[in-house]
Structure 1
Amino acid sequence: MMEGQVDLCPEVEKTFELIGKRWTGLIIYVLSSGPKRFSEINSLIPDLSKRVLTERMKELEEHGIVLRQVIPERPIRTVYLLTKKGSELGKILGPISQWASCWMKEK
């Protein structure tokens, strides 16, 4: 490998593709504070449509990042929470949030 060249393995590319999708990082960030109902996630990210949220949640479930848990009380509730894999990814988003607060201030 030449000096200054970055080695992009398929796993790195796949990860950046996943978290680079619009809203995915924010969904993981919101869930890093604990389990949330669909409506809570939707209200915490106001510009996110329910259709896109549904798509992203299914994708995150398929990748083993989010777990959909049905709580069998009356009325039946469904919550979404990060898996261990998702929690590890969520830890990375905290420093990104700090960077954003410092460097992406509105002008």
Structure 2
Amino acid sequence: MSRMQVDRTITRAFELFGKRWTGPIVSVLTAGPAYFADLHGAIPGISERMLSNRLAELGARELTVREVDEGPPVRVFYRLTEAGTALEPTLRALSQWAETYLLEGDQ
């Protein structure tokens, strides 16, 4: 038998998307730019601190951009970059897979 080994690109992808909340954040942003408070409200159970941390990480990976709306009042919003937007078909396919193969309430 040949020696099997995981693809390094898959490992890198899951290092990012295997973290809790990353997928839901990107998924919400596929609908368009969102203010921090709107993102927080769209993802039940996420703390503001965790949302802030994940958005910073996604920004560092160049998947999101943080922008300031000078207002008044001053508000911060986030949008996907080209690289982040390119994830939309993958997320849609993953959602369809989950709808078919994962029972509601599965952990």
Give the TM-score band, short-chain normalised.
0.7 to 0.9
Give the length in aligned residue pairs: 105
Report the aligned-residue RMSD.
Answer: 1.9
| CA distances 1:20-66 after superposition (whole Å, capped 9, x unpaired) | 10010111011011111111111111111111111100000000001
2:7 is matched with 8
Q: How big is the shift at 1:73?
A: 2.7
> In 2, Cα distance between the equivalents of 1:51 and 1:58?
11
> In 1, Cα distance between the equivalents of 2:95 and 2:23?
10
* Aligned counterpart in structure 1 of residue 84 of structure 2, from 79, 83, 86: 86
What is the TM-score with the length of structure 2 in the denominator?
Answer: 0.87
Identical pairs, percent: 37
Q: How big is the shift at 1:6?
A: 4.4
2:18 is matched with 20
Q: Equivalent residues in 2 for 1:26-37 (5 A)?
A: 26-37=24-35
2:40 is matched with 42
What is the TM-score with the length of structure 1 in the denominator?
Answer: 0.87
Q: How big is the shift at 1:12?
A: 3.0
Q: How big is the shift at 1:100?
A: 1.3
> In 1, Cα distance between the equivalents of 2:94 and 2:58?
20
Q: Which amino acid aligns with 2:55?
A: M
2:59 is matched with 61
Q: How big is the shift at 1:7?
A: 4.7
> In 2, Cα distance between the equivalents of 1:96 and 1:12?
15
Q: How big is the shift at 1:70?
A: 0.9
Deviant stretches of 4+, over 2 Å:
none
Specify every segment of 5 or more residues in structure 1 that has no aligned partner in the other structure, as ranges: none
